[in-house]
């Protein structure tokens, strides 16, 4: 188990600089165009695939970094480049991680390559969990999966929403209810192969920010998939459901829910790192502007009103990064989140991103309000961090419940 450190080693610094170079040279110049077009930036994804950033191997190497800092370091640099394009690049990883974490070796070997395609023919994948009436309240999920024993097929019906790459993905990973009596414990994940009849794209959302990332509804109408597309397999599912029923009868359901909460906690620092990247990008633009913009015969950074804002911005960004790194290290080290440190990191970093990008717009004045400068786009992009992967309100609820041990509602 690696000791906690606040210093990247030489290998990590080399990877960081490599990602930063791609973000600066490829992502940044394309950011404004794809934000305006509100389309998936396929050429940029292809460039990322050619250099090795858009691949499972890349994310696996960062995920298995024994210090825990590989993923947050990579996320910060990519989202420093541009949040919308970065989400298009990392969105497939959400589905891939779902397969790697829950799938069999055969499923991993079969489907992961089809999620990414090749550098000459890139593909994307979608993870479909949220629904119109089941966002933070996953217990209200309605999408059903029914097993047809005679044909060894699963039949899926329902509507998913807020799906990154939804409808345009080569492979969709869909979370559905298989046992309604068990609530969230009665959910399972399914692989929907390419060109499966019955799956279609619903509404594509025109968003306030992260416009280069495709977000849409996914409609499932009598979607039939082979039994082999149940992640983990039928035997494993039946055993898990039987255990859940036994725990429910013995009154052990709360213990199971807390274990699930710990899983979500471990993924939240990555979103915090994304927020840190966007905040840092806006701060750097504002700092450079304040040093070069002159009013009344001197750079505006000479004014305390501006200088103190920049001091606060930098302090908050560094504090957010430290919370993210602490939670990331705790997750890889197997340390329990006794105070919901994962949610803390996501909550603080996302709120910092909104505040810092707003301050950057203010420092640039009228220029900050125009699309000639990137802080306007960064400010719009930052709003998503307090919403997805659990809203700030949900993070506060998780933290409050964890530190108090009370069922706060």
CA 161 to chain centre: 15
Contact criterion met (CB below 8 Å) for 146 and 154: yes
Is residue 7 flagged as an active site residue? no
From 265, 351, 376, 389, active-site residue: 389
DSSP string, 330-387: HHHHT---TT-HHHHHHHHHHHHHHHHHHHHHHHHGGGGGSTTSTHHHHHHHHGGGGT
3-class DSSP state for residue 137? coil
3-class SS at 132? coil
- Dist. CA 270–CA 273, nearest whole Å: 5
Angle between helices 56-63 and 83-102 (to 10 degrees): 80
Beta bridge partners of 177: 144, 187
3-state class percentages of the chain: helix first, strand second, coil last, to nearest 5: 60, 15, 25
Could you tell me the two tokens for 112? 């992961």
CB count in 10 Å sphere of residue 334: 7
Give the ranges where 130-182 is alpha helix by DSSP (H). Answer: none
Query: What are 360's two structure tokens?
Result: 């950057």
- Active site residue ranges: 389
């Amino acid at each position: 188990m690696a000791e906690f450190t606040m210093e990247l080693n030489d290998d990590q610094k080399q990877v960081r600089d490599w990602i930063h170079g791609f973000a600066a040279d490829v992502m940044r110049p394309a950011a404004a165009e794809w934000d305006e077009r509100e389309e998936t930036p396929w050429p940029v994804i292809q460039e990322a695939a050619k250099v090795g950033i858009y691949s499972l191997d890349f994310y696996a190497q960062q995920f298995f970094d024994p210090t825990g800092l590989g993923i947050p370091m990579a996320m910060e640099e990519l989202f420093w480049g541009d949040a919308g394009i970065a989400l298009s690049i990392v969105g497939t990883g959400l589905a891939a991680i779902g397969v790697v974490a829950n799938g069999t070796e055969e499923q991993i070997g079969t489907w992961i390559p089809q999620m990414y395609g090749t550098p000459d023919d890139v593909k994307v994948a979608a993870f479909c969990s949220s629904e119109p009436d089941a966002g933070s309240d996953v217990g209200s999920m309605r999408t059903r999966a029914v097993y047809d024993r005679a044909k060894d097929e699963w039949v899926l019906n329902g509507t998913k929403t807020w799906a990154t790459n939804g409808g345009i993905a080569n492979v969709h990973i869909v979370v559905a209810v298989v046992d309604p009596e068990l609530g969230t414990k009665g959910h399972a994940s399914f692989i929907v192969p390419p060109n499966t009849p019955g799956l279609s794209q619903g509404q594509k959302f025109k968003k306030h920010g992260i416009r280069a990332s495709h977000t849409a509804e996914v409609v499932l109408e009598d979607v039939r998939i082979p039994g082999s597309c149940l992640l983990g397999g039928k035997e494993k599912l039946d055993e898990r459901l039987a255990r859940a029923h036994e725990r429910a009868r013995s009154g052990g359901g709360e213990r199971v829910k807390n274990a699930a909460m710990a899983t979500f906690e471990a993924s939240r620092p990555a979103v915090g790192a994304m927020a840190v990247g966007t905040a840092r990008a806006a701060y750097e633009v504002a700092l450079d502007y304040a040093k070069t913009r002159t009013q009344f015969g001197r750079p505006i950074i000479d004014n305390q009103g501006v200088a103190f804002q920049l001091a606060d911005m930098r302090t908050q960004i560094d504090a957010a990064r430290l919370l993210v790194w602490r939670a990331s290290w705790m997750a890889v080290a197997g340390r329990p989140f006794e105070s919901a440190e994962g949610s803390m990191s996501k909550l603080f970093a996302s709120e910092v991103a909104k505040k810092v990008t707003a301050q950057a717009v203010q420092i640039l004045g009228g220029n900050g309000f125009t699309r000639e400068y990137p802080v306007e786009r960064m400010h719009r992009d930052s709003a998503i961090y307090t919403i997805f992967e659990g809203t700030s309100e949900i993070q506060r609820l998780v933290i409050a419940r964890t530190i108090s041990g009370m069922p706060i509602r």
